[in-house]
Structure 1
Amino acid sequence: MSSKQDPKNVEKAIEKTEYVVLDTTLRPTRWDDYIGQKHIKDNIKILLQAASERGHIPEHILFYGPPGLGKTTLAHLIAKETGRQMKITSGPAIEKVGDLASILTNLAAGDILFIDEIHRLNKIVEEILYPAMESGVLDIIIGKGPSARTIQLDLPPFTLIAATTRVAMISSPLRSRFSGGVFRLEFYSNEEIAKIPRRGSFKRNCQKKPVHAPHC
């Protein structure tokens, strides 16, 4: 069998890779580049400024709304604005308590943990988040039955940013622990929609120009 790949398949793979890279490149890197959601941006800026003035990490934040409105992008902007590392996961990826424990214990002080589709966490895993968010500790139960005991581990201070398309599926105890705020993303206005292609087109044109091209 020939080791050469089908040129058509190679071309499709290249197109797919270019699309992924382009999508990442087009993600806004400044607040001014993020179109829409002005009420959220204003509140987040105040939240981040207050945390900075107190010398604290930002408080936990929940974004909700339909897909495609920029929840993940907001999380990236917060990480960039605060100069913090962000670890990314999703509700479906955290199947067991051990999965969440591994993620939390591997965070560095000041890290941001972004959990997409947080409404899909199972109840047992969700309950582990309560003390982690509220008190910065991880409760681990060792053993079963009457001999079971709980070990409490201190976690490095971190900020949880979560996103969901189904806020009604999030329990009240979890929702109440987002002390930084619960923010609903609104649909784009016609004016905002008109700005998005122009901004994306501008960035794509810049990618094709030399590095020294003006305004790129």
Structure 2
Amino acid sequence: MAKQSSPPPSERLLDAEGRDEDRRFDRIFRPDSLADFVGQTKHKENLQVFVRAALKRGEPLDHILLCGPPGLGKTTLAYILAYEMGVNLHLSSGPAIEHKGMLTGLLTRLQKNDVLFIDEIHRLSAPVEEALYPAIEDFRIDVMMGEGAYAESIPLDLKPFTLVGATTRTGLLTKPLQERFGVTLRLDFYPPEDLARIISRSAALLGTPCDEGGAYALAVRSRGTPRVANRLIRRARDFADVHGSGKIDREIVELTCARLDVDDAGLDTMDRRLLGVLIEHYDGGPVGVETLAAALAEPRDTIEDVYEPYLLQQGYLGRTPRGRIATKKAYEHLGATQKRRDGSRKEPGTQGNLF
């Protein structure tokens, strides 16, 4: 199999991580209220109850941990919660809070019942995380006054607030931090029906006509992720304006995705390359992630964090104790033949004992 070049993860059209371009449009696309938020129905209904109860009692919301892959709406929900509570939202991230002094500055600026959103909260340093514990539990932070033998810890009272933490790597959170959140919500990938509604809404906000067929065709290629859907609709709008009448329909979507190397299942060149290497070089696996990363000339973390999650979630890739395997669905999608146990090959799509 000839080696194909692939864009860096940060430049992939289907990468769910946010970019500067996405953030410009976030202000246009972001809903203000839970009523306007599409998808995650169970979580949304529970949050509506929590907000109403907190407002009724005049208390801050309980601390909330939002988990799940990037691009599913964790930051958007933080904005909405602050809006619904009628308070200010303060934004930060784990890597940005470099030391306890920065954390103290953030916390002392909070007004009563404000929302503090910390993205990538799993990346807080241990000293900062430990300093956060009394702030979460008792609305208090300990400040060191004086130096040397005369230094002493002075408790500083804080106004009641809500911490909303977001993480894509729940496994990297310490147990003490997880246990201090009263509410933990794991956001799931969105079904095509919800994504089609999001796409129709975004198209209307852009002033671009989009019919149901076009919205659904984009939805099934959006990898279950609103951020990807909103990125695709901007590209489809370009093709609609240049090669069509300005309207996004199924034909325009198919043209857009063909030109951008996104197939009907929402897989791009890198996805197909990963599966192709696994099938053609390693007979479908199992193969260790380090070996796979070397074959693809990609860092292991990039394989695990960027490329694998969607392929695993959609059933193209499997994990076993011995390594990664290509599933029957991967063989069928690539039109590849699958080896039998005796070493012979069978036609794609035929039933066998390998998987």
Taking structure 2 as the reference length, the TM-score comes to 0.51
Residue deviations 1:112-146, cap 9 Å, x none? Answer: 11100000000100011100010010112345665
Residue deviations 1:18-46, cap 9 Å, x none? Answer: 86443311111122321111111111111
Q: CA RMSD in A?
A: 1.9
- 2:130 corresponds, among 127, 131, 135, to 127
Whether 1:105 aligns to 2:108 is yes
- 2:83 corresponds, among 80, 83, 92, to 80
Residue identity matched to 1:97: K
Structure showing greater radius of gyration is 2
Q: Which residue number corresponds to residue 166 of structure 1?
A: 169
The answer as to whether partners of 2:107 and 2:158 remain within 8 angstroms in 1 is yes
Change beyond 3 A, Cα 1:19–1:147: closer
Change beyond 3 A, Cα 1:119–1:139: same
Q: Which residue number corresponds to residue 201 of structure 2?
A: 199
Matches within 5 A, 1:25-104: 25-104=28-107
2-structure distance, mates of 1:183, 1:19: 24
2-structure distance, mates of 1:60, 1:127: 16
- 2:143 corresponds, among 140, 145, 156, to 140
Residue identity matched to 1:188: Y
SS in 2 for 1:93: coil
Residue identity matched to 1:41: K
1-structure distance, mates of 2:59, 2:155: 23
Unaligned runs of 5+ in 1: 1-15, 207-216
CA displacement at 1:59 relative to structure 2: 1.1
User: Relative contact order, CA 8 A, sep 6+: which one is greater?
Assistant: 1
Q: Which residue number corresponds to residue 299 of structure 2?
A: none
Q: Which residue number corresponds to residue 221 of structure 2?
A: none
**Percent identity of equivalent pairs:** 46
Bigger mean CA deviation after superposition, 26-35 or 122-131: 26-35
SS in 2 for 1:126: helix
1-structure distance, mates of 2:136, 2:119: 16
- 1:114 corresponds, among 103, 113, 117, to 117
CA displacement at 1:107 relative to structure 2: 1.3
1-structure distance, mates of 2:93, 2:165: 9
Residue deviations 1:88-113, cap 9 Å, x none? Answer: 01000000111101111111122111
Taking structure 1 as the reference length, the TM-score comes to 0.82
2-structure distance, mates of 1:193, 1:20: 19
